[in-house]
Amino acid sequence: MAGQIISRGTDRWMVRIYLGRNADGTRIYQNRMIHGKKKDAQKWLNDSLTKRDLGIPTFKTKLFVAEYLNTWLETVAKPRVSERTFDSYNWLLDQASAKLGKMPLSLLRGEDIQKYYGSLTASTARHIHAPLRSALSQAVKWNLIYSNPCDAVELPSHRARELQALTAEEAARFLKVRSKHSCLFAFLLTTGARPSEALGLKWSDLDLDRGTVTIQRTLQWHANGGFYFAETKTKGSRRTVPFPGNVVDQLKQHRASQAGALLKLGLKTDLVFANDEGMPLMRKNLVRRHFKPALKAAKLPTDLTLYCLRHTCASLLLQAGVHPKVVAERLGHSSTKLTLDVYSHVAPGMQEEATALIAKAVYG
């Protein structure tokens, strides 16, 4: 029963509205004492049920948005997501709390969120929307609000970033540049590995006789410093990838020189790509001290990111006619569709080749 009216004496009526069940299955009700005739109690009940169905709270709560978001982060998000994702959610919801946090949760409206998103860049708004919507969905399940105000929000239009990728000639020119981390750059470009995957590699992951690498972890950094190894981005990201003989030779030379240098210091490491002390490489230092100078030496734009080597691998393979499923497996994508969506810029050239093939087949 959605609601009921119970007599509590002359012209006194307790109106009860069923709100659902809490985590242990106990029924939750909202009770309100109405003084007057039964028709007054019936009117209040009808109005309250209408508001409930429209997502308009009929009662006030002292719980504020900021307080609730912190509770959701600690009790729901933290046990379920990776440390890296949790840090991201924490930062994003801190931004939201700075603007919306002092509002009572029960009074938060889609209009408030819409106005807030309007003050942000489209990219930032879309990033904040995901954890905020998830948090408020939980608030609905906990019967703190009747509906999710994020459902009434229109997200800013999204412009996909243009992927940075080198041409075959540019890639060859880049790999000819001698750098302290040439081996790492060649590995990234030829395997399509994510930078975090390559930086988390151990020598036990490599089979240099067969020329393969098994990618099964990533290198991550805590927000307050210090590193840790994490699972790959998705289950499909755990994969074994072959790499060219040129890279096999580079890795063998790299292993010998790395072991020799560390031996002089009385150190050793199981990391494939490490700093002079055998510790993990910090990505920002790698880019600033080695990657950008290598780009400059190859006469390439220095605003390219380390990720462009992964994009280059995928683009060159697709342009060469390699089946998208093979490329998807190499990149660790969850589906071929994702690969084609991400690298749609390669499609025009592939369509031209397809047109030529069908013309040859039909018209000779």
CA within 13 Å, CB half, 211: 11
The verdict on 311 and 265 lying in the same domain is: yes
The verdict on 50 and 75 lying in the same domain is: no
Confidence of residue 161 (pLDDT cuts 50, 70, 90): low
Average pLDDT, whole number, for the chain?
A: 87
The verdict on 87 and 200 lying in the same domain is: no
Q: What is the Rg, in whole angstroms, of the alpha carbon atoms belonging to the chain?
A: 29
Confidence of residue 162 (pLDDT cuts 50, 70, 90): low
Q: Which domain holds residue 43?
A: 3-54
Q: Give the DSSP per-residue string, 149-197.
A: GGGGPPPPP--PPPPP---HHHHHHHHTS--TTHHHHHHHHHH---HHH
pLDDT given for residue 156 in this prediction:
83
The verdict on 185 and 331 lying in the same domain is: yes
The verdict on 99 and 30 lying in the same domain is: no
Token code pair at residue 322: 């390699």
For the segment 174-187, the average pLDDT, to the nearest whole number, is 95
Domain count, the chain: 3
pLDDT tens for 268-287 read 999 999 999 999 999 999 99
The verdict on 193 and 293 lying in the same domain is: yes
> Nearest 5°: phi and psi at 39?
-65, -30
CATH of the domain at 252: 1.10.443.10
The verdict on 98 and 216 lying in the same domain is: no
In a domain, 159, yes or no: no
The verdict on 181 and 271 lying in the same domain is: yes
Confidence of residue 214 (pLDDT cuts 50, 70, 90): very high
In a domain, 59, yes or no: no
C-alpha 316/C-alpha 322 separation (Å) is 9
Instruction: Mean pLDDT check: name the lowest of 61-75, 239-253, 293-307.
Output: 61-75
The verdict on 45 and 72 lying in the same domain is: no
pLDDT at 55 exceeding the cut of 80? no
In contact, 128 and 96? CB cutoff 8 Å: yes
Instruction: Mean pLDDT check: name the lowest of 14-18, 180-184, 225-229, 332-336.
Output: 14-18
pTM over 0.85: no
C-alpha 4/C-alpha 46 separation (Å) is 10
The verdict on 198 and 318 lying in the same domain is: yes
